[in-house]
Amino acid sequence: MDTETLLAAVRASLEAIEAPRYYENEHGFQGQLLVELSKRIPACLPPDGTVIEQEHQKTLANHGLNIRPDIIIHQPFDPAFHTNRRHGNFAVFELKRRASGTEAAEDFANLAAMLDLLQYPLGIFINIGSQRTHASLVPAHARGRIVIYATSLVAGHVRLVEERT
């Protein structure tokens, strides 16, 4: 999966979320983001069973960590095709509504753990209802692998900030 094509689909999906209601809570925004991603990402996905899923619990026994990412793009583990759960992972998302620096740092640490342990090549953080990316708080060892978006409505129009670490 081409990273730039995927990020273009993420940007277009975020720009399509214009209803103020979705900016009121993280779960509503997440649901609409899944709708928008589903319109754009299938064209980017390899035809090999890759899916977009929400809130897929990672377990310590199977994954080496216990984190519930908001959205993942991956091939579901199948021992007939994958040697371990690190194969077939493409992108992992964390979303936060109006994240404080502390909250963003916690999500960045979660993303870094999933990037390291599960070998996701790309982590995406979305700060909903804010123009702050908190990019300076991304752990040094995860820089270059996390892309951050801050998205908000300003006078009825989506304002999107993208920052790459």
Note the pLDDT tens digit of each residue in 26-42. 999 999 999 999 899 87
Burial class, 15, CB count within 10 angstroms (exposed 0-12 / middle 13-18 / buried 19+): middle
**Model pLDDT, residue 126:** 98
Percent of the chain with pLDDT over 70: 83
Note the pLDDT tens digit of each residue in 61-118. 454 556 888 999 887 766 677 676 666 788 999 999 999 999 999 999 999 998 998 8
Q: Among 112, 104, 154, which residue's Cα sits nearest to residue 133?
A: 104
Q: What is the mean pLDDT of residues 112-141?
A: 95
Hey, which CATH number is domain 3-164, 3.90.1570, 1.10.260, 3.40.50, 3.30.70?
Answer: 3.90.1570
**Model pLDDT, residue 60:** 45
Residue 7 host element (H or E): helix 3-15
> Look-up: residue for tokens 């909250």?
103
Calpha distance 44→100 (Å, rounded): 32
Q: Where are the domains of the chain?
A: 3-164
Supply the angle between the helices 3-15 and 26-40 in degrees, to the nearest 10: 130
Residue 40 host element (H or E): helix 26-40
